[in-house]
Structure 1
């Protein structure tokens, strides 16, 4: 059993933190003991392990608990197996970060994401940047099951298309930020978002390097998404000078709160 005790000299915070780092460094020695720790300590240990990028399919189960609200796997090498474990334990999850911090991630598929979406229905933040094997099938399940979703990053998920945007438009009234850069989305998908349930909540839209986006999509966002503050669409080869003209109209609005714009005119 891991034994963390108060000393007569005080300094409990330092001793506690040091003990956690020792456990994290020698994780394989304490797996069974970690299971017995209270949720608050498990959460702190999980944070350390996630920052070190040493969470894996084999050890993640020891640190999970039903009260867990957030988990960051952006630095860790996990597969659908770990996601299945999370889906069985962490039904109160509100944030999961699977963004690939380094190289693109190929070990996560639609199957793992669907398990999370169907079990963890309170998720508000779902980050999947550069998860190459994620497509419409997974995003539709996120939209249908996680109706409280506010922030969704699908940048670099090359299998994502207009079908995903249609599902989000129909089911997610609280969506605030959406990243679909380097995907297959086109004007039709953007039109769905602009006329969907989230048009009044969307403040951030990333569409960089989307080869099927034209000026019509940009003009539609400007017309219908009146709260937009960040609009990213550089590297879209079908964009012309007409988008710049439309952006001038956006910036001229008295109620405009635009903070960031990036685009490329071809």
Structure 2
């Protein structure tokens, strides 16, 4: 047991008893060299158990916990004792739900070594602010469905943590103010903006102008019509290293697509989903201009056989084409394309019930290995007036975001204003 490096604890069923403090401490005593720990639905764990574990397993490098009941004290014990922690993933941590009295989390000794922080579905995720701000070597920040207004915190984070190369923002209350802040990370290579309808072309232009090393850009515009040609043309102008572009619920036209195809000569993976403006002319443009393109996904776009036929003589490096829910594209056209380009894999799902693929839940953008993916565009769309600059009450209620007391308590505000070396 002493040689054990990784341990995973998952509650088996609703009726089963989860691991508790005593069991976790026993594991920590026998596996002091433990480097990876995953906890799932361990609702018997308390702050005391996590603190005891942290003192015994100081070599921990990766911690992933979901639906556990310990709180800020337990998390801070990990951060104070595990100075080699590199990867932290927290989902639905039930012990930090009280926004009014939440104890700030971090920075701790682990802040110096942390490279990846992922926060998911946290009511009071902003209490991790001190940890994120203190993680000077942070490379990847992922924020999924965490409540509260994140613009102010992102401004502080981007001002102090400038080396980030990957940022994911999903179902988050963030606007162009947050994007402008993120543009301070000049080495940014990967950006995912998923269902953040207060982000507009203005924010994307700021990212493009300053983050010129961008390689992967995923945008799910949620059909809010706030990101379009202006933002994409800025990406085409400044982000010449772009290799992967995923657009869901965004309406690019031939103008921006042609500029992207002409300027981004390394573009290898392109997905266009739920775009009302992507038709035969746009696909023909891609076929003629995207010489490096290897994978193309088209879903729920007004494309017909004529547009798909253009791929027969275009995109010389193309190896895979996925067409889903484009009812004007026929199976005869797909067969003809396969015949003309024998090495090209063509996957056609017209959207008719008899042709539905059981694996269609990937939103039409999933590729093996998880390298080329985005989330399904199946959520109800928000009712938002185009280009509105004010915060919409209906937007906040639809996304389940609360901003009254969740900007992380008075103690966190005090930490930001002066006491940056301790949690207070």
Quick check: 1:117–1:141 contact (8 Å CA) kept in 2?
no
Residue 270 of structure 2 corresponds to 260
User: Per-residue displacement from partner, 1:112-148 (whole Å, max 9, x unpaired)?
Assistant: 2421222222111111022232420121122111111
Residue 28 of structure 1 corresponds to 21
Q: What is the deviation of 1:152? A: 0.7
Residue 110 of structure 2 corresponds to 90
Aligned counterparts of 2:171 and 2:8: Cα–Cα separation in 1: 34
Residue 189 of structure 2 corresponds to 176
* CA separation of 1:136 and 1:85: change in aligned 2, threshold 3 A: closer
* CA separation of 1:137 and 1:253: change in aligned 2, threshold 3 A: closer
Q: What is the deviation of 1:56? A: 4.0
Q: What is the deviation of 1:108? A: 2.6
Q: What is the deviation of 1:249? A: 4.2
* CA separation of 1:166 and 1:150: change in aligned 2, threshold 3 A: same
TM-score normalised by the chain length of structure 1: 0.73
SS in 1 for 2:217: strand
RMSD between superposed Cα atoms in Å? 3.4
Residue 261 of structure 2 corresponds to 251
Residue 144 of structure 1 corresponds to 159
* CA separation of 1:17 and 1:160: change in aligned 2, threshold 3 A: closer
TM-score normalised by the chain length of structure 2: 0.48
| 1:104-253 matched pairs, under 5 angstroms | 105-110=121-126, 112-157=127-172, 159-169=173-183, 171-183=184-196, 184-196=198-210, 198-199=211-212, 201-209=213-221, 211=224, 212-236=226-250, 239=251, 242=253, 244-252=254-262
Aligned counterparts of 1:34 and 1:253: Cα–Cα separation in 2: 55
SS in 1 for 2:117: strand
* CA separation of 1:67 and 1:254: change in aligned 2, threshold 3 A: closer
**Equivalent in 65, 86, 89 of residue 69 of structure 1:** 86
Quick check: 1:93–1:122 contact (8 Å CA) kept in 2?
yes
Number of equivalenced pairs: 237
Quick check: 1:231–1:260 contact (8 Å CA) kept in 2?
yes
* CA separation of 1:52 and 1:156: change in aligned 2, threshold 3 A: closer
Q: What is the deviation of 1:95? A: 0.6
Structure number with larger C-alpha Rg: 2
Quick check: 2:240–2:263 contact (8 Å CA) kept in 1?
no
User: Per-residue displacement from partner, 1:14-35 (whole Å, max 9, x unpaired)?
Assistant: xx479x5689953311566677
Aligned counterparts of 2:152 and 2:89: Cα–Cα separation in 1: 23
Which protein is richer in helix relative to its size? Answer: 1
User: Per-residue displacement from partner, 1:170-198 (whole Å, max 9, x unpaired)?
Assistant: x21111111222221111111111111x1
* CA separation of 1:117 and 1:39: change in aligned 2, threshold 3 A: farther
Aligned counterparts of 2:9 and 2:195: Cα–Cα separation in 1: 41
Uncovered stretches (5+) of structure 2, i.e. residues with no partner = 12-17, 41-62, 278-424
